[in-house]
Structures are given as C-alpha cells and as structure tokens.
Amino acid sequence: MVCLGNICRSPLAEALLRQKVDPKKVTVDSAGLDHYHAGEPPCHSSQEIAKAHHLDISGLRARPFQISDFDRFDRIYIMDQYNWDLIQNMARQEADLKKVDFILNEIFPGENMAVPDSYQKGKNAAKMVYEMLDQATTAIASKLRS
C-alpha cells in the first residue's frame, strides 16, 4: 500500500487488509514515496477513524518506498495519479510496473480513481478515505481467498 507520506491513506489500507487476510499466507505493508514523515506514526485523523473501527494503527511507522519493494511484493497498490507518476520513475523495468495498480481499480476496474489525500483535512475526509479503502481491501482479500 503506497501513498505519498505513508501517514494517512496507506497505513489505513495496510491495517484494513491485514485484518482481512491470513498473515501466514499474505504479507501486507505500506510505504510512502516521499521521506518527509519517515519514522512518524499515522496522522491523528487516520488513527481516530481506525480506532473508531476497532483498528489500532498507532504502532505503524512511515517508511519510504524502496526499489527492493518491487522484488519483495507481488502487488503494489497506489492511491493516486501523483503516486503513479513517482513510482513509474522508480521502476527498473516493465515487470515492476505490472505489479502496480490504483487500489480503487479493485472496485472500479480500469478507472484509475484516486483515494483523496486526507492529510490535515479532518475527520470527514478521513472517514471517506476509510470507507473507500475498506471496500477496496475487501475486494483484494476476496481475490486472495479465491
């Protein structure tokens, strides 16, 4: 799960998918394409909305996306077009890019819809992002089970 800073959208997506899959079979992680927030916990609004849904993301820490993540993961889900533009520049080969997709394509195939950045936009924005990511991660988990 990849977003820009790894403190709002991607930690929520990570936690949501982790609760829906078997951790012995599926590794879920998140990262950011910028290093601004490296080592920081998720933002307050993301922690609040997660807590309201019985998810504790306070222990997660932002980390930068690394080239080795292309080798480490079978699927890399991005949150928006800017993430796509940045990750394209990091890809070493076409095979790297074949692993990357917009997370909302799981529920709106081929539409490349963005998950809005909720950073410093308050509780309502975090709630909307949570709902989008909950639906998308449910679809991902369903695919993984079949």
Residues forming the active site: 3, 9, 117
Residue 95, CA distances (Å) to 21, 27, 88, 145 in order: 25, 20, 11, 24
Q: Looking at this protein, which amino acid is placed at residue 16?
A: L
The answer to whether 39 and 60 have CB atoms below 8 angstroms apart is: no
Q: Dihedral of the CA atoms 92, 30, 104, 16 (nearest 10)?
A: 160
CA–CA separation, 146 vs 39, rounded Å? 35
CA–CA separation, 146 vs 139, rounded Å? 11
